[in-house]
Amino acid sequence: MARTKKAQPSELVKLSAELPPLIRALEVEIRQVSECMERLKKDGLIYASEHWRKDSNDDPKYLYLLYSQQQGERRKREYIGCDMSRIEEARAGIGRAKEYDELRAKLTALQSRAYHVQQAMSDARRYLTGEARNYSW
């Protein structure tokens, strides 16, 4: 069996000194992701898919946006038409919605990381002070 090196208090101090900049970086990243999500939401999110009506030559001509069906309602369809500015605006909104969802997943992961770090730091403080764990849920 291999012998493990005993932890020295100086190593704990060194390790704890590395934490504040890492915590600040995590806080900044959470704030940046949240601000980006707010900008995207302000610019407008479109949770729909494209559907093209074809002309007589079987080429796409008229764009419709098909929204997800809500419980007890018919599926919403929005006519966009063939105006390129409206088509680009609709596509941009769909892209923003996809980016928003990706950022929401990233924010959830960052918040989870912050929660777990906080729990680990609470445990470390408890170990250092010799307190008994409080299991009050």
For residue 136 the two structure tokens come to 């009050």
For residue 89 the two structure tokens come to 């605006």
Q: What is the mean pLDDT of residues 86-113?
A: 97
Out of 55-59, 73-77, 91-95, give the one with best mean pLDDT: 91-95
pLDDT band of residue 12 (cuts 50, 70, 90) is confident
For residue 3 the two structure tokens come to 């012998």
Residue 1 has pLDDT above 60, yes or no: no
Class of residue 20 by CB neighbours under 10 A (exposed 0-12, middle 13-18, buried 19+): exposed
pLDDT (0 to 100) of residue 136: 62
Query: In the 8-state DSSP scheme, what is residue 72?
Result: T
pLDDT (0 to 100) of residue 3: 58
CA separation (Å) from 126 to 7, 103, 119, 131? 17, 34, 10, 5
Share the mean pLDDT of the chain.
90
Instruction: Indicate the pTM of the whole model.
Output: 0.80
- Map out the domains of the chain as residue ranges: 25-117
CA distance from start to end of the chain: 40
Q: What is the mean pLDDT of residues 5-15?
A: 79
Residue 133 has pLDDT above 80, yes or no: no
Task: Say how far apart CA 104 and CA 102 lie, in whole Å.
Answer: 5
pLDDT (0 to 100) of residue 76: 92
